[in-house]
Amino acid sequence: MSTLLILLPATPPQSGPAHEYEYWFSHDAQAPAHARGHGQRGTLAAMPRADRVMALIGDGQISWLPAQLPKVKGAKLRGAVVGVMEDQLLEDPDRLHFAVLDSPDAEGRTHWVAVMSREPLRAHLQAIEAAGLLVESLLPLSWPQAVSGETDQGHVDTGPDDRARLRVARADGVATFPLDSTGLRGWLGEDWWANAPVTASPGAAAEAEQWLGRTVRVINDTDRAWAARQAPVNLLQFDLTPRQRGWQRIHQAWQTLQTPAWRPFRWGVVGLVVVQVIGLNAMAWQQNRAIDARKAEQEALLRQSFPQVRVIRDARAQMVRETEALRGGAGQVGPGDLEDLLTAVARALPPDQPPLSGLRFEQGRLLVSGLAAPQRDQLRQRLGQDPALRVAEDGEALQLSLRPDNR
């Protein structure tokens, strides 16, 4: 599953399509191996299309603040965030974007809230959308470790002023300090200084080891950007929530199913479908065998009962015809004959009804005529109550016959 990560700069994009971004692209969801560990640079229009597109925001562009939020959701949540955090903000809330982590602290009240400058972020997202890229999530490079359940950790890199800086992610928050800050060691504590997992970019690794007095794990920009995919929060919330979120979730779920981790599930589904198809075919074959056996029994019975029938096309219909012929030859009354239909009419007529003046019988149908409209309607309603009879109007007469399934 191809993946595209785009790092958003702190400044708004330049006017026109020539603004370049640092990005990472992988065909198979594995970390790309770029030279010197840096991402590639290019315009949005020149970036490769991918199944999943994620935006990254740098450590210097985001602040993590604790807030005790009420239990509200949807549009009311942002208003609650602004109301609770207004005293902690240094800028107008209308110029800021907020995102709330899903998991509160252990007591279930304090949430971590990410605070970012809104306008540069919105401008970058609009430029990406205009380039035809559908961003499914905005991810931070670091986050409070109380959410993910990981141990406290740090990362050392070089800031814009060429000074080594330490990004500390702990259960009580996230902060960035110059590595040579006075009192940093005392604030972090000797245990953290000696044992906390610390990574460093290649250019700051030597200085980090000198200050910490121990070895650090060197990771390049590519590794750190790729690790951000495990962030426990999507910062696209409130007014920056993608309009296509419903379809995006379906698309994301489908892409997730294509990953190697879901290969056993995919094979299981394929196996289940194959078993169902085989089972349905086996059941259909058994049903066809049963139908063929029943037809063979009917044909054998027809040949045994009526040896004169040489060609069999419809054993049931031919047996009915031969039986009717025998009954008629013996002078017996059968269903649908004149006597049978007259008996039904006699039962339906009122006792004071005069003899019927018009009767005609032909090919299993009795035509009753000569009745006034009220009498005809009354006779039709009474005959219609018999489920074995079929009653239809033929002009001013009633046509009476036996239903085929009652013959």
The C-alpha atoms of residue 239 and residue 222 are separated, in whole angstroms, by 30
Q: Identify the three-state secondary structure at position 137.
A: strand
Q: CB–CB of 407/327 below 8 Å?
A: no
Helices 263-305 and 315-329, packing angle to 10 deg: 20
The C-alpha atoms of residue 9 and residue 12 are separated, in whole angstroms, by 7
pTM for this model (two decimals): 0.59
CA 225 to chain centre: 28
The C-alpha atoms of residue 391 and residue 379 are separated, in whole angstroms, by 10
| Ordered per-residue pLDDT tens for the chain, 407 residues | 789 999 999 888 876 667 889 999 988 777 776 655 678 899 998 899 888 899 999 998 999 998 888 887 777 888 888 888 888 888 888 899 999 986 554 455 678 899 999 999 999 999 998 888 889 899 999 998 765 556 788 999 988 888 899 999 988 889 899 988 888 888 888 888 888 999 999 989 999 999 999 999 999 989 999 999 988 889 999 888 876 555 556 666 676 677 777 888 889 999 999 999 999 999 999 999 999 999 889 888 888 888 888 888 888 888 877 877 776 666 666 666 777 778 888 888 877 777 777 888 777 778 888 778 888 888 888 888 887 788 888 777 888 787 766 55
Which residue in the block uniquely carries the two structure tokens 């610390």? 198
Note the CATH architecture for domain 338-406.
Answer: 2-Layer Sandwich (3.30)
The C-alpha atoms of residue 117 and residue 124 are separated, in whole angstroms, by 12
Give me the phi and psi of 260, to 5 degrees please.
-60, -30
Give me the phi and psi of 392, to 5 degrees please.
-140, 150
The domain spans of the chain are 3-258, 261-332, 338-406
